[in-house]
Amino acid sequence: MIQNDHNVEIAKQQDLIASMLGIDGRNLIFNFKDKNGTVRFDLVTINPKHDQSFLFHTTNGTDKVDALKKMLEYIEQHYAQESSMTIQWIKIGDDKLHTSYFRAKNMYEALDKFYYERDMAQYKIFSISLNPVS
């Protein structure tokens, strides 16, 4: 595959992910890290209300396109089946209580997504709750 075609395929997969999630592409960060012959892909969302980023999900692939396709598979087949959780929190030094929503297997995974690339000492969690199933 020609490198340009590879880049076009990456862009198409990224657009498809944004479309499937109903999130403006400007509020998604596609973090790729090469690690021992594989690619780790962290999809990060940005909440424009409080200008904070959170981990959505991580996949691993043989290259960027493979990792993106695995993310699409996760969104299609597993995302809706995970538990919906609410975390209420403040940033230390700020007095505004924020509410953020996550899908995760359990509360520990939701907290991992909340604290992704973040200094734990800078945030205070007031509550984490499992949302009712509708």
CA gap 69, 59 in Å, rounded: 9
Comparing C-alpha atoms, which of 14, 49, 48, 12 is closest to residue 31? 14
Mean pLDDT of the chain: 93
Average pLDDT over residues 81-110: 95
Q: Which residues of 23-53 are buried (b: 16+ CB within 10 A; e: fewer)?
A: eeeeebebeeeeeeeebebbbbbbeeeeebe
Return the pLDDT at 3: 53
| One-letter amino acid of 68 | L
**pLDDT for residue 50:** 86
Q: Say what the pLDDT of residue 24 is.
A: 93
List domains and CATH numbers for the chain: 1-81 (3.30.160), 82-134 (3.10.20)
Task: Give the pLDDT confidence of 71-88 residue by residue, as tens digits.
Answer: 999 999 988 889 999 999
Q: Which pLDDT belongs to residue 92?
A: 95
pLDDT at site 134 = 65
The confidence score (pLDDT) of residue 1 equals 44
* pLDDT tens digits, one per residue of 8-21: 999 999 999 999 99
- Number of Cβ within 10 Å of residue 99's Cβ equals 13
133 or 127: which leads in pLDDT: 127
Cα–Cα distance, 24 to 46 (Å, whole number): 10
pLDDT digits (tens, 9 = 90+) for 63-72: 999 999 999 9
